Amino acid sequence: MALAQKLLAFLMMTALLGVSMASVYKVGDSAGWTMMGNVDYGKWASTKNFHSEDVIAYEYNNEYHNVKQVTHEDFQSYNVGSPIAVYSSGSDSISLKKTGHYYFLCGYPGHCQAGQKVDVLVTPSSFRSSTDSSTSAPYASPPSTMTPPNPIPVKNSVSSFHPFQLWSALAVLIALFVAAY
Ligand SMILES: [Cu+2]
């Protein structure tokens, strides 16, 4: 029984942590990271609410593209020569740990000038939806892990998903099952 209670506590903790966990956004949605089709990455980014701990996923053919994180200055001048970080696997998931801007360019000649660039603005986790971002004092609200689980936040993208929330629901079900014994 003691073991079951420990397990229950662990699972409840997992469930609570789960609701505050990351969303995953595929850069460019179904188009991915590409020169094809004139994807407007500025528009793509502007329809999302990126929060710290969210993840952005770059999918591309690494024979023709890569991903370079650069400074604001280098982003504006299309300088791919001194990146902060370089990704080139063709399937790169990047955790947005800090708040603020992340600037990305494709490092292949001419690509960023042609539009293969994106400015991702990461806001604190308490800015949970675009509708309440106009309300004041976001820093005064308690950490999101202390608030009761909310309904799944509404995101504008069909490609964003919440695997951890599914896991949370499963954890609660298992916990209830264990508690019943
Ligand atoms: Cu490219």
- According to the model, what pLDDT value does residue 125 have? 81
pTM recorded for the entire structure: 0.62
Grouping H, G, I as helix, E, B as strand and the rest as coil, residue 56 is: strand
Grouping H, G, I as helix, E, B as strand and the rest as coil, residue 70 is: strand
Angle formed by the axes of helices 2-19 and 163-179, to 10°?
160
Ligand 1: centre distance to CA 32 (Å): 11
Q: From the CA atom positions of the chain, what is the Rg in Å?
A: 19
pLDDT tens track of the chain, all 181 residues?
566 666 456 545 555 555 556 899 999 999 999 999 999 999 999 999 999 999 999 999 999 999 999 999 999 999 999 999 999 999 999 999 999 999 999 999 999 999 999 999 999 986 455 444 443 444 444 444 444 544 544 444 444 444 555 556 556 555 655 666 6
Ligand 1: centre distance to CA 35 (Å): 6
Ligand 1: centre distance to CA 15 (Å): 39
DSSP bridge partners of 101: 121
Task: Give me the numbers of helices (H) and strands (E) for the chain, helices first please.
Answer: 4, 8
- According to the model, what pLDDT value does residue 76 have? 98
CA–CA dist 1, 8 (Å, integer): 10
Q: What DSSP string runs through 80-113?
A: -SS-SEEE-SSEEEEE--SSEEEEEE--STTTTT
DSSP class of residue 20 equals: T
- According to the model, what pLDDT value does residue 142 have? 46
What single letter denotes the amino acid at residue 112? C
